[in-house]
């Protein structure tokens, strides 16, 4: 019976080859994992516009006034535009093929509020906005809209059982940075969720894929900024605040 010590040991070149194969397999697994996360994130993000489209179509069917119907149809078109933009931007985010440009953050916030006006109005959510002039950054508008839209919808979801629900939005410029904050007076984030807020497939909602904040963090990071949150569950002063910092656009 041959002695174990007499068996030929793999050479340095063979070990390096094995390591290289393992690295390639790991890289493939990582790409597949990321592709899965992006696919799930895309599905998550298109659900909200699709829901809004369904609501608007229902309202359009109940109205006879052509002017009103025309208004609803215009809003449907806006939702469809957003839906297409989200799908393209999610894929381009992975491929790195999207182009950056000068973006007015106040306009993007107004667009997000307009897109979700129906849902906010039905829930009787009070919107308070404070925005300075010249809050201009540089990036991909559809991706930043995706982030702001997700934060607004998350705040709205948190306010479902809140008396006098309010969402406060503030944008200000300071030195080389623009600071965006959105706060709600909801019940706050449960402690067991707080440590996993920006992880994929983590959610404190009864339904949802838990991808919105995961994708938002990556989009903001891609734009050279950061996102963080504070939350309180104390009665009488509960709520959650998300703060985003983005580089300020410098005119040439």
Helix (H, G, I), strand (E, B) or coil at 24: helix
For the segment 144-194, what is each residue's pLDDT rounded down to a tens digit? 988 998 899 999 999 998 999 999 999 999 889 999 999 999 999 988 888
Domain contains 7: no
Among 7-16, 58-67, 183-192, top mean pLDDT goes to: 183-192
Please determine, for residue 36, whether its predicted confidence score (pLDDT) is greater than 70.
no
pLDDT of residue 209: 45
Rounded to 5 degrees, φ, ψ at 126 are -80, 130
pLDDT of residue 204: 55
Domain contains 154: yes
What is the distance between the alpha carbons of residues 122 and 105, in angstroms, rounded to a whole number? 26
pLDDT of residue 40: 59
Number of domains, the chain = 1
Domain contains 147: yes
pLDDT of residue 114: 83
- What number is the average pLDDT over the span 78-84? 68
Task: Check if the beta carbon of residue 179 is closer than 8 Å to that of residue 172.
Answer: yes
Domain contains 22: no
Please determine, for residue 101, whether its predicted confidence score (pLDDT) is greater than 60.
yes
Where does residue 7 rank: exposed (0-12), middle (13-18), buried (19+ CB within 10 A)? exposed
Give the domain extent around 237: 31-247
Among 23-27, 45-49, 167-171, top mean pLDDT goes to: 167-171
172-207 burial, b for 16+ CB within 10 Å, e for fewer? Answer: ebeeeebbbbbbbbbbbbeeeeeeebbebeebbeee
Tell me which of 203 and 143 has the higher pLDDT: 143
For the segment 222-232, what is each residue's pLDDT rounded down to a tens digit? 899 999 999 99
Domain contains 160: yes
Domain contains 2: no
Domain contains 187: yes
Domain contains 5: no
- CATH number of domain containing 94: 3.30.565.10
pLDDT of residue 132: 87
């Amino acid at each position: 019976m041959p002695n174990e010590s007499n068996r030929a040991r793999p050479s340095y070149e063979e070990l390096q080859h094995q390591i290289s194969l393992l690295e390639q397999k790991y890289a493939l697994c990582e790409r597949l994992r990321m592709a899965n996360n992006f696919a799930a994130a895309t599905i998550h993000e298109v659900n909200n516009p699709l829901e809004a489209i369904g609501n608007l179509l229902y309202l359009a069917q109940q109205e006879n006034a052509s002017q009103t119907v025309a208004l609803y149809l215009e809003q449907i078109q806006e939702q469809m535009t957003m839906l297409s933009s989200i799908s393209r931007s999610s894929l381009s985010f992975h491929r790195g093929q999207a182009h950056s440009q000068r973006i007015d953050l106040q306009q993007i916030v107004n667009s997000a509020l307009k897109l979700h006006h129906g849902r906010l109005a039905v829930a009787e959510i009070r919107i308070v906005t404070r925005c300075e002039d010249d809050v201009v950054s540089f990036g991909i508008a559809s991706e930043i809209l995706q982030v702001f839209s997700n934060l607004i919808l998350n705040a709205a979801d948190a306010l479902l059982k809140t008396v006098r629900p309010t969402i406060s939005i503030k944008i200000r410029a300071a030195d080389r940075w623009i600071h965006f904050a959105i706060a709600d007076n909801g019940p706050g984030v449960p402690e067991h969720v707080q440590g996993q807020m920006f992880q994929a497939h983590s959610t404190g909602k009864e339904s949802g894929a838990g991808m919105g904040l995961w994708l938002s963090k990556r989009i903001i990071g891609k734009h050279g900024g950061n996102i963080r949150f504070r939350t309180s569950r104390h009665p009488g002063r509960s709520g959650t605040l998300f703060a985003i910092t983005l580089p300020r656009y410098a005119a040439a």
